[in-house]
Structures are given as C-alpha cells and as structure tokens.
Amino acid sequence: MNNQTTITRRDFLKLSGASALALTALPAFDGQALAGFLGSEQAANQMGILIDTTKCVGCRQCQAACNLRNNLPPLPEKILPNQTFPAQLSATAFTNVQFFQTGGAEDAPVFTTIKRQCMHCLEPACAAVCPVGAIVKTPLGPVTYDAEKCLGCRYCMAACPFNIPKFEWDSANPRIRKCDMCADRIAAGELPACVQACPTGALEFGPRKELIAQAQARIGKNPDKYVPYIYGLSAVGGTSVMYLAAVPFDQLGLNVNLPDSAVPELTLQVMDKIPAIAITVALLAGGVAWWRGRKTRAGEPESSIEDAEH
Amino acid sequence: MFEQSLEFFTEGLTLAGMVLFRLVLPLAFMFGVGWVLWRFFAPEAVPQVKGARPESFGAFITRVRELPNLRVPVLSSGQVLALFIAIMLWIGATGFLIARFFWGLETASAMSDAMPWGLWIAFKLSFVACAAGGFTFAAIVYVFRLEKYRPIVRTAILTGLIGYTVFIVSLLIDLGRWYNIWHPIVMWNPHSVMFEIAWCVMLYTTVLYAEFSPALFERLGWKRMQKIMHVITVPLVIAGVVLSTLHQSSLGSLYLIQFTKLDPLFWSPLIPVFFFVSAVAAGLALMMVVPCINARAFHCENKQELIATLAKPAAIVLGVYFTLLVGDMLVRGELRTLMAPSAMSALWWVQVLFGIILPMALLFTPQAKSEPRVRYVAAGLVIGGVILERFNVALFGFSEYLGSLNTTYVPSFGEWVITLALIAGAVAVYVAAVKLLPVLPQPRHELAAKPVKSC
C-alpha cells in the first residue's frame, strides 16, 4: 500500500489529452466499399421487379400465387372490395395489395392499388445488421434468409427502413419471414410467382438497368400520366423493387423521407473504426499499466495483486 | 419397408447426434475441465504426505462445506418478505418461461412485428450499463494502480460479473432461436454491430469470471491457481477494458441504423459515445452505493472515506456526459424541439436535470465528501438517469413511430414478471457470492461482534 504512488491530476490530464488526440486521428473508411458497389455494373445487372401501379387493377392474383408458392394460408374466398387484405404484411403474408383512395368523391371514391413486398435493397440494412449472415443479398438480386443460421435476435426487423421482415411470434422455433423474390425460381430461369400471375403486366421482372430504362421510357412517353419519379431508384441507395405511380408516392403509403445514401453506411462508419479503437485502447491501457507499475518492479516489495485487503 | 426402416435409422442417428452434441459433449467438457482443475490444483490446499493418494472428491466437498461461515442464517422479517416476493416472482417467471419456450414469444411478451425489441432489451441495456463498474474499477486498480481502491475492486467485479450473466440469461429468453446463440462464434458477419457485441460480451464475461476467480481460489486454498491468476491479471484487465469500451459503445451503435424510427431527440450519431460515458457514470455511481449496502447487510467494514473520494471523479464524468449531450443538441439543431412541450422533450429534460445536473451539483458540493446521504441521493439519481436514458432510446423514443403505424407497445405482465424475477435472481446470486466467497473488504466473522456503523 505505502509503496504505491498516487496519480497526479497533471498525469491524468496528459493521458486523457493523448487518448482524445489518438481517437480523432483514427483511420475510417466511410463506407467507401458500399458506394463502390452501388454504382457498379454488377448492381445494375441484378434482377429486380418494376411495379407500375397505374396498370394494377387490384385483383390480388399476385397474393394468391405468393401464398401458394410459399405454403402460406390461402386467401379467403370472399374479400370485401376496395380493401387491403390482409391489412398488414405478416409472417403469413409476404405481399399484399394495398388500396389507397387517391381521388373521387365521398360516394364514388377512386382507389390506387399498390403491391407491397420486400424492396430487396441493393445495400440491405437487414443483411448488414444480421450477426450471423442469415440474411444475404444474393448476386442475382434477391435478399434471402436462412433459418438454420438465424438466432432470432430480430435486429433485421428493427433495422429495416421499410418494416418488411416479420417474425413467427407464436412458434417455439420462430423464423423471420419475408419475400425472397422466389430466389429458387429465378435461379432456375423462371419468373417470380407474383410476376407470372399478374394478368395486367403491372409487374415487370428483369435486370435492374433495363427496368430503369423502361420506367424512364414510360414516364417520357406519358408525362401527364406518371409522376416523374421512380421510387426505389435512389432511396436508401437504390432497391431492386421499384415503383411507378400516377400520384405522389406518399399518398400510397411509401416513405418519401428516406435518405439517398445506403442505410448501413451509418453503422459501417463506426464499425470500421473498431479495430483502431481496440488497438488504441489496448496500447494506452498497457502503457499506463506499465508506467504505473515501474516502481513496483524496481525492487520494491510487490504486494500480491490477488490478495484483497483482508 | 426398407425405406421406412432407413428413415427410422437416419432419424435415430440425428437424434443421437443431437443428444451427443448438445448434451453429452458439453457436459463431458464441463466435468472434464472441473476434474482437471480439482485433480491438479486441489491437492496443494491440504497438507500432503509425499506419495499419499490425492484428496478424494467426497473429502474435497466436505472440506469446502466445513469452511467458516457456510452456515444457514437466521432471517429477519424483512428478509422473509423479500424472499417471499422473490419466490413468487420466480414461480410466475417459470410459468411464463414454460409458455414462452413451448408456444412462442407472444405468450409471454407484448412485442410485435412493429416493435420487435421491447422491455427486455431496455432492461438488458440498463443492466449492462450498471455492470460497467466491473471494468472501471479493474482499470482503476490494475491499470492506474490506485491501490487504495483495492478493497472494493472485488465487489465491483462481482457486480459486473452478475450483470453480464443476467444479460446472457435474459438474452436466451429474448432470442427467438436461442439454441443458436453460439452461431456468431462460427458464422461471421463482421459488418454487424450485433456480431461485434456477441463476441465482446462472450469474451468479456469470460474475462470477468477469470478476474473474479482469485476469490474462489482463495476460498478453496488453491495456491497454484492463485499464482497463475496473479501473473495474468493485468493482461486480463486490459483485455476487459478494451472489450468493455467496444461493446458498451456498440450497444448504442445498435440504434444508429434505426434513425427512421427513433425520435430525433434520442437518436444521435454520438449515441455510442453517450452509452460509453453514461455507463462509466453508472458504474461509478453503483460503487458509491453497493459498499454501503454491503456494510449494512454483511457487517463488513464501512469504507466511507474511500467512497467519498469517488464523488469528484463521478461528477467530472457527469460533466463530460452533459457537455457531450448539449453540444450534440446544439450541433444537430434540435434545441427548438427541446423547448417545444412534448412527452419526448419532457423525458429528455427529466433525464438531464435529475439524472445529470442535479447529481453533478450534489457531488461537487463539499457535503458530498462529509455526508454519506448526499452521495447516496446523487448516486441513486445517476443510476436512475442512466436507466431512463436507456429506456428513452430503447422504448419511449419509438412511441411516435409506433403511433404512425397506429399501434403501441406496453410491456406485458409476463415481460415484467420475468424482468423482476431476473433482478431478484441477480440479487440472490450476489448475496450468495458475498456470503460464500472472500469478496468484502474484511471477513465478516472478524467484525461480527463490533457494532454496525449506520450509513
């Protein structure tokens, strides 16, 4: 006890100043890797779905096909007209056709229908946050989920800016459930089930750059019909599922306040600094321990560290 | 017929494999490690005649049981009431846990697709923040070598150890596919904050147990293990400091990506820094209270003069925290939101006024040195403030977002019962550890006869 020096305030200030300086000087990569992928040819060639809400008649055949393909409970025989059913996406509904009144009078409302599903972001937040890589963005385009890896931490649900991943709250072995763009069908050269079922051509499947070109052509041909935006072109860095509409997208329940930068970048900026922070803290702590312990080593009797003062 | 028997065979093989890998191997590993420890390190404790057989397991157990102070205490009426409440909580929690593990999370919790993280997460964040005393005091004593704090370092490490153990237990309850909790060890996604937290918590819990193990070895009289621990303590503590710095802040980073959902008053790019600084404050504050509770409950030496020296450092940490919080508000231009009356701004002001400014003022007064009561009030406010901050970020800050989805989240009865049962369990483990192991500044049997100082 008596052989120990006490740390002076000046020592302490010196140390904290040094550590603060070291922390600001840390290297960071600022998500450069992400930005590189978003503009790349690979991203442009990934498969996607263009949903033209002006062509959608709200027949729900896409929903029925989706439920069939994914072994989900089938739609009931009778559904009230002009109503979203089921009202929300869930573990048993990966897609639904949502009805929004966008015009007409009280007694004769006009509805716009929009098919909602996983957006299959180019840089998905869900895949970035998954601790075990159970959710991945496959090279073909779909964002897929592997229940065998999953822990059920539900961070993907918390992180998704579109609230897409759903959870089996009533199961002892719960899975995350969401649209996987029929990844197995795409790999086999087939269309996703919903696209194949659509009778009006409101759903278009193809490489993302071709879909974008087509969407721009449609807007260019009918500037009076469409609002001049493609939803999903740049939101959260771009998504594989994109929308065209005749009314502003916020009237169709889509979040128009999302940033154009990829969502995971926010976290990556911090994660990239972690090795540097770890090394800095370790070196600082080691240095202080060595420096403060030098007297003990210089021949003075060492008090046993583990013997608490009993 | 053949196909059926083949199917039966493969199913049997799978079952056997599951039993082997999930039950037999872990148990064999546990017992194997225990056996090695006992076989090679226990014999040193008893005087040995050369060539004599090593101590038998039965003799070992008898020796441990005959160590001083392992007797059943006589309970006061208050203790009986506390025990009754705890047992009721544990019975209730067992019921909810059975339902949760057999019929899914919805049977025990009010979490939903809109609010996938609920009370349990807020509770976990609060618990780990308060457990920061473990790494703070380990660093103070073993890195900065401020030897005067050595008498309370074991208490601090024990609070950390229990905090992290409860964190992991509550994680097992919260995880949907809890049996896959080991997956981050082999399945890597280094970009994920959750992955980093999984590794850090796993490693740091091991470090905490190792840091605390000298108390166990001292009790058992295992001299060789004590020597080994003596050599590796400083590297262990440094590893603990690094791991704590990383994951205490990363628990805040979890919320960076939720910027579309979390209220802008509580979402900030600096949230990892806030979480780290406030955890240090909570750890210091907890260690201003716990030694006094120890003195009252276990009749050990009251280290008031030592605790008093913590007042100023704690106040400085609070000052740093306050400066960061307000500076961040100024830079982000949220001051106007703060002035507008709303539930969120009220929560922010309560946290800052009563959780930071008031205790900081109290701890800077000269009375904080002389009056234990001032310190307890301040420390209680700090801990309450940090818990409120965690709840703001994890629960309350999502209310507006939930409102936009026409839904709401109120923790269910089951969530509360399980949470409170875990807290009761943490206290019980703490009491048991303090009674069984040399944790406190002075063994209580030496002081038992002396009158208890009031705190």
Please write the tens of the pLDDT for every residue from A148-159.
999 999 999 999
Q: What is the pLDDT of residue B18?
A: 67
Q: Amino acid identity, residue B398?
A: F
Strand locations in chain A (E): 47-52, 96-104, 109-116, 135-137, 143-145, 166-167, 176-177, 203-207, 241-244
Q: Over the range A266-292, which residues count as b (16 or more CB within 10 Å of their CB) and which as e?
A: bbbbbbbbbeebbebbbebbbebbeeb
Three-state SS for A135-152 is: EEECCCCCEEECCCCCCC
Q: What is the pLDDT of residue A184?
A: 94
Between chains, do A310 and B441 touch, taking CB under 8 Å as contact?
yes
CA distance B258 to chain A (A): 5
Between chains, do B143 and A292 touch, taking CB under 8 Å as contact?
yes
B198: nearest Cα among B246, B238, B126, B269: B246
Q: What is the pLDDT of residue A35?
A: 55
A84: nearest Cα among A61, A58, A48, A108: A58
Three-class SS of residue B157?
A: helix
Residues of A within 8 A of B150 (CB-CB) are 308-309
Q: Is the pLDDT of residue B10 over 90?
A: no
CA distance A187 to chain B (A): 24
- ipTM for the complex shown: 0.83
Between chains, do A293 and B145 touch, taking CB under 8 Å as contact?
yes
B334 falls within a domain: yes
CB burial of residue A140 (10 Å; 0-12, 13-18, 19+): middle
The average pLDDT across A78-105 equals: 90
CA distance A284 to chain B (A): 9
Contact B153, B417 (CB under 8 A): no
Strand locations in B58-158 (E): none
Residues of B within 8 A of A1 (CB-CB) are 147-148
Pick the more confident residue, A299 or A15: A299
What's the CA dihedral at B304, B306, B311, B316 to 10 degrees? -170
Q: Is the pLDDT of residue B49 over 80?
A: no
CA distance A140 to chain B (A): 20
Tell me the pLDDT tens digit for each residue of B129-161. Answer: 999 999 999 999 999 999 889 889 999 999 999
Residues of B within 8 A of A175 (CB-CB) are 176-177
Q: What is the pLDDT of residue B80?
A: 82
Q: What is the pLDDT of residue B226?
A: 87
Between chains, do B145 and A289 touch, taking CB under 8 Å as contact?
yes
CA distance A12 to chain B (A): 10
CA distance B392 to chain A (A): 16
Q: Amino acid identity, residue B54?
A: P
| Residue A90 per-residue DSSP state | B
The two three-digit tokens of residue A212, written as one number: 């974008």
Pick the more confident residue, A4 or B345: B345
Q: What is the pLDDT of residue B5?
A: 75
The number of helix segments (H) and strand segments (E) in chain A equals 12, 9
Tell me the pLDDT tens digit for each residue of A253-303. Answer: 999 999 998 988 888 888 888 889 999 999 999 999 999 888 776 654 444
Q: What is the pLDDT of residue B133?
A: 92
Q: What's the N-to-C CA distance of chain B in angstroms?
A: 78
Q: What are residue A90's DSSP bridge partners?
A: A93
Q: Is the pLDDT of residue B50 over 70?
A: no
How far is the C-alpha of A129 from the C-alpha of B193, rounded, in Å? 6
Following DSSP, what letter does each residue of B170-189 receive, concatenated? Answer: HHHHH-TTGGGTTHHHHS--
Contacts of B53 (CB under 8 A, 6+ apart): none
Residue B214 touches partner A, C-beta closer than 8 Å: yes
Contact A237, A229 (CB under 8 A): no
Q: What is the pLDDT of residue A107?
A: 84
B452 falls within a domain: no
Looking at the partner chain, which of B113, B187, B214 has a beta carbon nearest the beta carbon of A167? B113
B125: nearest Cα among B323, B347, B276, B290: B276
Residue B139 touches partner A, C-beta closer than 8 Å: yes
Residue B397 touches partner A, C-beta closer than 8 Å: no
User: What does the mean pLDDT of chain B come to?
Assistant: 86
Residues of A within 8 A of B220 (CB-CB) are none
Query: In the structure, what pLDDT confidence band is assigned to residue A23 with cuts at 50, 70 and 90?
Result: very low
Tell me the pLDDT tens digit for each residue of B182-224. Answer: 999 998 898 899 999 999 999 999 999 999 999 888 888 888 8
Residue B322 touches partner A, C-beta closer than 8 Å: no
Contact B255, B363 (CB under 8 A): no
Q: Left if phi > 0, otherwise alpha if psi is -120 to 50, otherwise beta: which for B134?
A: alpha
How far is the C-alpha of B236 from the C-alpha of B232, rounded, in Å? 6
Q: Provide the pairing of β-strand A96-104 with A47-52.
A: unpaired
Query: In the structure, what pLDDT confidence band is assigned to residue A26 with cuts at 50, 70 and 90?
Result: very low
Calculate ∠ Cα A80-A83-A88, nearest 5°.
Answer: 120
Q: Is the pLDDT of residue B7 over 80?
A: no
A52-61, A75-84, B44-53, B192-201: lowest mean pLDDT where?
Answer: B44-53
Helix (H) or strand (E) holding B431: helix B413-436
Residues of A within 8 A of B139 (CB-CB) are 285
Q: What is the pLDDT of residue B337?
A: 84
The average pLDDT across A108-112 equals: 90
Selected residues 78-137 of chain B with any CB under 8 Å from a CB in chain A: 101-107, 111-114, 116-117
Q: How many domains does chain B have?
A: 1
How far is the C-alpha of A157 from the C-alpha of B401, rounded, in Å? 14
Q: Which of A153, A168, A281, A292 is the mutation pick for testing B, counting most B CBs within 10 A?
A: A153
B142: nearest Cα among A267, A182, A308: A308
A63: nearest Cα among A71, A74, A48, A54: A74
Tell me the pLDDT tens digit for each residue of B293-312. Answer: 888 888 777 788 888 999 99
CA distance B162 to chain A (A): 19
Three-class SS of residue A8?
A: coil
Structure-token match 């800077």, residue found: B364
Q: What is the pLDDT of residue A120?
A: 96
B323: nearest Cα among B270, B263, B374: B270
A172-181, B45-54, B255-264, B277-286: lowest mean pLDDT where?
Answer: B45-54
Residues of A within 8 A of B229 (CB-CB) are 306
Specify the CATH number for the domain of residue B387. 1.20.1630.10
- Taken in order A132, B109, A178, A172, is the CA torsion positive or negative? positive
Contacts of B367 (CB under 8 A, 6+ apart): B374
How far is the C-alpha of B164 from the C-alpha of B131, rounded, in Å? 7
Q: Provide the pairing of β-strand A203-207 with A176-177.
A: unpaired
User: What does the mean pLDDT of chain A come to?
Assistant: 85
Query: In the structure, what pLDDT confidence band is assigned to residue B340 with cuts at 50, 70 and 90?
Result: confident
Q: What is the pLDDT of residue B299?
A: 78
How far is the C-alpha of A253 from the C-alpha of A224, rounded, in Å? 22
Q: Is the pLDDT of residue A27 over 70?
A: no
Query: In the structure, what pLDDT confidence band is assigned to residue B55 with cuts at 50, 70 and 90?
Result: low
Structure-token match 């005393």, residue found: B133
- Taken in order B47, B52, B55, B58, is the CA torsion positive or negative? negative
Contacts of B110 (CB under 8 A, 6+ apart): B118, B409, B410, B411, B412, B415
Tell me the pLDDT tens digit for each residue of A218-261. Answer: 999 999 999 999 999 999 999 999 999 999 999 999 999 999 98
Q: Amino acid identity, residue A133?
A: G
The two three-digit tokens of residue B356, written as one number: 């930071």
| Residue B453 per-residue DSSP state | P
B228 falls within a domain: yes
Q: Which of B102, B158, B189, B270 is the mutation pick for testing A, counting most A CBs within 10 A?
A: B189
Query: In the structure, what pLDDT confidence band is assigned to residue A306 with cuts at 50, 70 and 90?
Result: very low
The average pLDDT across B258-266 equals: 92
Residues of A within 8 A of B180 (CB-CB) are 132, 149-152
How far is the C-alpha of A201 from the C-alpha of A199, rounded, in Å? 6
Q: Provide the pairing of β-strand A96-104 with A166-167.
A: unpaired
Contact A143, A282 (CB under 8 A): no
Contact B110, B411 (CB under 8 A): yes
Tell me the pLDDT tens digit for each residue of B408-421. Answer: 999 999 999 999 99
Tell me the pLDDT tens digit for each residue of B69-113. Answer: 554 556 677 778 888 898 999 999 999 999 999 999 999 999 999
Q: What is the pLDDT of residue B314?
A: 94
Query: In the structure, what pLDDT confidence band is assigned to residue B66 with cuts at 50, 70 and 90?
Result: low
CB burial of residue A297 (10 Å; 0-12, 13-18, 19+): exposed
Residues of A within 8 A of B215 (CB-CB) are 308
Contact B134, B283 (CB under 8 A): yes
Selected residues 335-394 of chain B with any CB under 8 Å from a CB in chain A: none
Q: What is the pLDDT of residue A310?
A: 40
How far is the C-alpha of B280 from the C-alpha of A170, rounded, in Å? 39
Between chains, do A306 and B233 touch, taking CB under 8 Å as contact?
yes
For chain A, the structural domain boundaries read 9-27+273-297, 32-123+163-169+173-268
- Taken in order A281, A286, A287, A289, is the CA torsion positive or negative? positive
| Residue A239 per-residue DSSP state | B
Q: Is the pLDDT of residue B450 over 50?
A: no
B125: nearest Cα among B336, B328, B275: B275
Topology (CATH) of A32-123+163-169+173-268: Alpha-Beta Plaits (3.30.70)
How far is the C-alpha of A20 from the C-alpha of A12, rounded, in Å? 12
Q: Is the pLDDT of residue B368 over 90?
A: no
How far is the C-alpha of B380 from the C-alpha of A216, rounded, in Å? 61
Per the structure, the complete domain to which residue B337 belongs is given by 79-442
Q: What is the pLDDT of residue B334?
A: 83
Total Cβ atoms within 10 A of residue B75 = 11
